[in-house]
Every structure is written in C-alpha cells, then in structure tokens.
C-alpha cells in the first residue's frame, strides 16, 4: 500500500461535511450527509461510519487505506476524552463522540472544536501558509476564533480559548450581546453587528446615502449592503466600515501584542469583502500593535472556505498518529 488516507468530518447543526484526504492535505473526495438530530443525535456515529465505508466502496478503494478520523464538533468538548459536554443544536449531553466513532470504525479518532479545526486547516493548507503562530478570526453571524501557538491549538483550562468574539470593545454603553454581556466585539464586527450599526446610522438622521436608499427600499440593511455601498464610495458605508475596522484592528492588535502571531487569518462571510476590509483593518492594527509585532504579522483572508474544517481535522488526526 503506497499511501494512507484520512477522513475529515465537520459536524454542523444541519449537515455533516465529510472528506477523504491524503497525507498532504489534498482532498480525494468530499460530500455531505444530513445531521440526524433525532433521538438526541444518538445515531450520528453509526451514520458517519456507514457513510465513510460506503464512500470507500464507491470509489473502489480498500478501507484499510484509512488511518484515522478527525472530527470537528460544535459545543463544549473535553479534548482529552472526546466527550461532548453539551451541543445544544444537536442534542448531545455528555456524549462520548470519540469513543463511539472509534468503536464503529475501528479507527483512531480525534475530536476538537469546529472553529479550532478551521484555524488548523488554514494553517496547514490555506492562508496560514504553515505559520505555527496563527490567529484565526471568523466574521460570520457571530465572531469566533482559533488560536495556534507553537503549532498547537490553544484550548485553555476548560476549552474556552479562542472566544475572541467576546473581547469587550466598548466597556460602557455597548450593544447587548448574546452572551449576556454588552459591547463585545461580536456586537460590532459580525454580519449582524455591521447591519445594526449601519441601520442605526441611517435611522439616526443621515440625509443622503446609498445605504439610506437601500434601507428605504428593503426596510432593512445587511453587511453585504454596507460593503457594496462602500465600494461605490458611499460615505456612510465607508464610515461604518472604518468604525468596524477600528474595533477589529484594536482587538487584533491587543491580542497580537500578547501572542505575536505570524499570520492573522480572517474567515467567515464578512471576510468576503476581501482586500477592502484587510486594508482598513491593517491601518488600525498598525496604530495599536508594537512595531516589531506589526513587522512579524501578516493579515490575510482565509482561502479554504467550507473545506477548512475537514482539512484541519485531518491535520490533527495525522499529528496524533505520528506522535
């Protein structure tokens, strides 16, 4: 047998992404199955295993070619045992995910947080370009993060490391956050936060703006509306983006002064704004990070998209087996 393969799995609330991936991180084949949340998600390990071995038959490859499975899961995870304390949108409580998949497949399994695995994926095969000190920031409906130092994911003492969406950007009088606090970075730099800030400014009495026209027509604004208007040099949209970039640049600079990352990778839906966003964040980042920290760091947009999780999962199981 000339080469080994691994399986990357990324379990979400509605679908499970799967991929067979070679030892260099190249995807051989990838597919999705629905997440079966019936019976508190109990059948997921069996369905996963079936899906993997059926796929190997389909592509006429021996299952012995598979060396291990990396799994990204949502919720609170005990990284040592692969136990999911609680994953609300799937229904798991104290669910021994790692053990169950190992029993079903006979393969070694490693489980980690989905945001962390996306960061590892970008480190290995994406915008991180192998940087062993990397800060991944996911700007989506919320703001998430993954921290890699010395080539390892940071988990912290109880699996909470990387919660950079809940860094406080506005200490007093900030908008309420889902976490119960106020003024979190997530209330500003998420897609939801960007839409909120733009809407407040439009309602606040601006007289002329492309964004106001969109708002009057649609009755609401999205983050995409803001970036579209900004590309047309709409001054209100530019003001909103500068405000968001200021808070992102400051939070990233403060983290970077502590962590000294080589790569800062921005992912998630909002990051599709691309260079427009990175240029603006870079400006504020440089104002607040130490010069030597700025020198060492490069801000880039994530390149793997939805594949980051399964690729990172494979990196992790590969590392574990090689140890």
Among 259, 266, 299, 313, binds a copy of itself (CB under 8 A): 259
Among 254, 274, 275, 305, binds a copy of itself (CB under 8 A): 254
Instruction: Name the residue nearer to a copy of itself (CB basis): 42 or 86.
Output: 86
Residue position matching structure tokens 């919660």: 163
Q: Phi and psi dihedrals of 259, rounded to 5?
A: -110, -20
Look up residue 11 and give its two tokens. 């379990």
x-or-dash string of contact with a copy of itself, 150-189, rule CB under 8 A: x-x-xxxxxxxxxxx-xxx--x-------xxx--------
Distances in whole angstroms, Cα of residue 296 to Cα of each of 6, 153, 167: 33, 20, 23
CA 148 to chain centre: 13
174: DSSP letter: P
Those residues whose C-beta lies under 8 Å from the C-beta of residue 304, and which sit 6 or more positions away, are: 118, 121, 122, 125, 126, 127, 311
Instruction: Name the residue nearer to a copy of itself (CB basis): 63 or 86.
Output: 86
**56-64, 236-244, 291-299, 313-321 -> range binding a copy of itself (CB under 8 A):** 291-299
Instruction: Name the residue nearer to a copy of itself (CB basis): 187 or 209.
Output: 187
Instruction: Name the residue nearer to a copy of itself (CB basis): 25 or 162.
Output: 162
Kindly tell me the sign of the dihedral angle through the C-alpha atoms of 186, 191, 192, 195: positive
Q: How far is the CB of 145 from a copy of itself (least distance, A)?
A: 7
d(C-alpha 123, C-alpha 223), whole Å: 27
Asked if 145 is part of the footprint of a copy of itself (rule: CB under 8 A), the reply reads yes
**12-20, 57-65, 256-264, 300-308 -> range binding a copy of itself (CB under 8 A):** 256-264
How many CB atoms sit inside 10 A of residue 106's CB? Answer: 10
Q: How far is the CB of 267 from a copy of itself (least distance, A)?
A: 17
Asked if 89 is part of the footprint of a copy of itself (rule: CB under 8 A), the reply reads no
Those residues whose C-beta lies under 8 Å from the C-beta of residue 303, and which sit 6 or more positions away, are: 122, 126, 127
Among 48, 109, 127, 131, binds a copy of itself (CB under 8 A): 131
Asked if 118 is part of the footprint of a copy of itself (rule: CB under 8 A), the reply reads no
Asked if 144 is part of the footprint of a copy of itself (rule: CB under 8 A), the reply reads no
Instruction: Count residues near a copy of itself (CB under 8 A).
Output: 47
- Site residues (vs a copy of itself, CB under 8 A): 131-133, 145, 147, 149-150, 152, 154-164, 166-168, 171, 179-181, 246, 250-251, 253-255, 257-262, 287-288, 290-293, 295-297
């Amino acid at each position: 047998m000339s080469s080994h393969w691994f399986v990357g799995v990324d379990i979400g609330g509605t679908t499970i992404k799967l991929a067979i991936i070679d030892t260099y991180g190249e995807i051989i084949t990838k597919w999705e199955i629905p997440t079966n949340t019936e019976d508190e998600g109990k059948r997921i390990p069996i369905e996963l295993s079936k899906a993997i071995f059926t796929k190997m038959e389909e592509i006429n490859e021996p299952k012995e070619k598979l060396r291990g499975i990396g799994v990204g899961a949502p919720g609170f995870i005990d990284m040592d045992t692969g136990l999911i304390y609680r994953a609300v949108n799937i229904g798991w409580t104290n669910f021994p995910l790692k053990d169950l998949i190992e029993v079903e497949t006979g393969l070694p399994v490693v489980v980690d947080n989905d945001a962390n695995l996306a960061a590892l994926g970008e480190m290995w095969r994406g915008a991180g370009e192998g940087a062993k000190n990397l800060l991944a920031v996911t700007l989506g409906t919320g703001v998430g993060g993954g921290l890699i130092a010395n080539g390892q994911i940071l988990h912290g003492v109880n699996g909470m490391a990387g919660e950079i969406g809940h860094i406080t950007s506005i200490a007093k009088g900030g908008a309420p956050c889902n976490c119960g606090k106020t003024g979190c970075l997530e209330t500003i730099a998420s897609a939801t936060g960007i839409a909120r800030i733009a809407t407040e400014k439009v309602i606040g009495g601006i007289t002329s703006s492309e964004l106001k026209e969109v708002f009057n027509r649609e009755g609401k604004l999205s983050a995409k509306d803001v970036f579209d208007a900004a590309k047309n040099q709409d001054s209100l949209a530019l003001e909103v983006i500068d405000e968001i970039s200021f808070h992102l640049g400051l939070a990233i600079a403060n983290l970077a002064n502590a962590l000294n990352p080589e790569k800062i990778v921005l992912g998630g839906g909002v990051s599709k704004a691309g260079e427009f966003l990175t240029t603006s964040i870079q400006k504020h980042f440089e104002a607040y990070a130490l010069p030597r920290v700025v020198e060492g760091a490069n801000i880039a947009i994530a390149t793997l998209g939805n594949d980051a999780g399964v690729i990172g999962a494979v990196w992790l199981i590969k590392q574990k087996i090689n140890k």
